[in-house]
Amino acid sequence: LTGGPGAGVAEGIQVRYTSEALPVGGGGPSGAFAGTVTFKQNSMNFHVGANPNQQVGMSFRSMKAASLGSGVLNESQFANLQDVSLLDGPKAQDAMRVIDRAIEEVAITRGEMGAFQKNTLESNLNWLRIAHENVQSSESVLRDADMAQEMAEFTKNQILMDASTSMLAHANQKPMSVLKLIG
């Protein structure tokens, strides 16, 4: 059992099963590695290329009140943002610390999402735009080259046809001269 970042709950946990882990007398698959099962929560995978393995992923932490602001030491025993109560004046300082922590966590997550967008998605989009322009340019060059080649072939055939016609006309004139001399 291996887990990626954030695998404390179920996010990014991978279960790898092998023949060694199966019962000795069981009818399981043979071989050292049978497969991998991946569990993901709150994550998104983006396909960023032409090949099936060109994917990037981004995991998102929970933004629920019960998940934000946890881990702040306080006398009021607020475990997270959901537990904050402002009905009692002396608990206001503890509530402020929990709220500050929740705001900090939201800001960090927003920063991570912005960095992912800027560094991964937008740079990939720019690369794809450049690749698209290059493909269009290459296609245009190939079309131009094919057109030039076809025009050269057409001109060659036209010259050959004109030469053949001229030779045939010239050959037809010789017998006429002979007939004039005879007649």
| Extents of the domains making up the chain | 63-159
Give the global pTM: 0.54
Count Cα atoms within 13 angstroms, Cβ side, for 123.
7
Q: With beta carbons less than 8 A apart as the criterion, state whether 17 and 34 touch.
A: yes
- Which among 62, 130, 71 has a CA at the least distance from the CA of 97? 71
Strand order of the β-sheet with 35-39 is 2-3, 13-17, 35-39
How many CB atoms are located within 10 Å of the residue 43 CB? 13
Quick one: three-class SS letters along 149-171? HHHHHHHHHHHHHHHHHHHHHHH
At 159, the amino acid letter reads: I
- Which among 86, 83, 81, 130 has a CA at the least distance from the CA of 106? 81
Secondary structure class of 55 (helix, strand, coil): strand
- List the beta bridge partners of residue 14: 2, 38
Q: With beta carbons less than 8 A apart as the criterion, state whether 99 and 80 touch.
A: no
pLDDT in single tens digits along all 183 residues of the chain: 444 555 454 445 555 544 454 444 444 444 444 444 445 566 777 787 778 788 888 888 888 899 899 888 888 889 999 998 888 777 888 999 999 999 999 999 999 999 999 998 899 889 889 988 999 999 888 888 888 888 889 999 999 998 888 888 877 777 777 667 776
Cα 112 to Cα 63: distance, rounded to the nearest angstrom: 14
Secondary structure class of 61 (helix, strand, coil): coil
